[in-house]
Structure 1
């Protein structure tokens, strides 16, 4: 027996409700025959809300029973609902994965192979650049969150705004293999301060904080991953110093 549902969603000139589109997709993906009813004007939308005693759209009805909006629909179907406040490592994993793919792709173009020491160097350098980019999207938000745990920034506030630029500069120079006299000290300095700050906040003070590593207002927990980011910068700087003697 086919399942049927009715959805009321805003579809106006200049605005199509994204939650309405998502709800429509969920219904159809779960085998519902959908009566898709558009609220085409603001007055029509307001009248619908007043009639049904709701404050938001879309609104989904199944078998004549009002289910509610997008999240209510997911709960009704027994599907997980994203918690915007939940801690997650997903942004960091995505950045590191993309940096790895970029490094492998670049190395394939240059050398015709996927793996080498140079590919590993590029992975770290690309990661630094991508992480810096996330911070630079909103420097003030990053600085505010960074001040919660970075020991140097707490003593000299401008360092919180300067940090993303230093990280990006070191990453770009390491990709280019240029100006090691500048990139190495910068990476070693910010990586060391960062590692000490994270270790002190998490493992000495036992504080539960959010990391600013992927920008301000993120839900990434401060801890092992954040420490790894800083240790990678330190390792890259030390490798750049040792590399000429080893080759």
Structure 2
């Protein structure tokens, strides 16, 4: 979802700050659009049946313990700038690979467990310290749209429209078009694919006013993912 909390998504892996070891090359991903900060007055930006849907999506996500994802950043010309694949064990374990956009080969590898982080460049792991806690559950956060206030309260105009269903990676999915227009800002357009049976995200595509795209894919919810410190240290 186009929520301010997902701003960590573009920076979480693309610019992991690990002190005490070599830092990964810092790309310049397109930032995620902010969702307006909720204010005490004013009606919610999403109400009625759509608000109930957001609650159901959030409830399904709260039950997730493990998953895999891929982040792809695409510029205005359609060129892939960044690809990152990750495995997550909530609340605080992460194993990620930065991939070369052209070849798909790994160029950097990270492991994060709590406040400890390791980065691998070449054949060697280096241990460091994570700057600040990582709230990995917020790699997807449908509940924050429900918290946003509507434009009359200085918030945003939000629309949700169900599109024709599609099958994605063999999973029958609902498909939703969501637009978020913060007061005084351009509209961001989101397409969300949700598994019909489990209401969990399978793909999230955000199109920005400048023509760039942030694409997220999710899978592996039932996998027995284990993340441990690297054997070589």
Same fold (TM over 0.5): no
Instruction: Calculate the TM-score normalised by the size of structure 2.
Output: 0.26
Larger radius of gyration, structure 1 or 2?
A: 1
The structure carrying a bigger strand percent of its residues is: 2
* Structure with larger RCO (C-alpha < 8 A, sep 6+): 2
The structure carrying a bigger helix percent of its residues is: 1
